[in-house]
Amino acid sequence: MDYNENDNTKYFIYDLFKEDSLYKLRLVEQKSASISKLLSAFTKQNVPPIDEFIKILESKINLKLGLTIG
């Protein structure tokens, strides 16, 4: 995602830092998107087969939480 002044949706990422006794914001990055680009990103993503997704999810649950499923 790049920045385009003509896009309707704009994102600004700031870094909060302390200088002396004051907190200040520094602009780190600017991003933008149009509604059509956002809708396209949400609706045209490749979705893995459900069996593959469940298998990966189960392995992550087993590794991270020590839980078993079944």
pTM exceeds 0.75, yes or no = no
CB 9 within 8 A of CB 42: no
Domain ranges of the chain: 9-65
What letter represents residue 64's amino acid?
A: K
Cα radius of gyration rounded to whole Å, the chain:
20
Q: CB-based burial of residue 32 (10 Å sphere; 0-12 exposed, 13-18 middle, 19+ buried)?
A: middle
* Per-position pLDDT tens, the chain of length 70: 688 888 888 889 999 999 999 999 999 999 898 888 888 888 887 877 889 988 888 888 877 665 566 6
| Distance between CA atoms of residues 56 and 50, nearest Å | 10
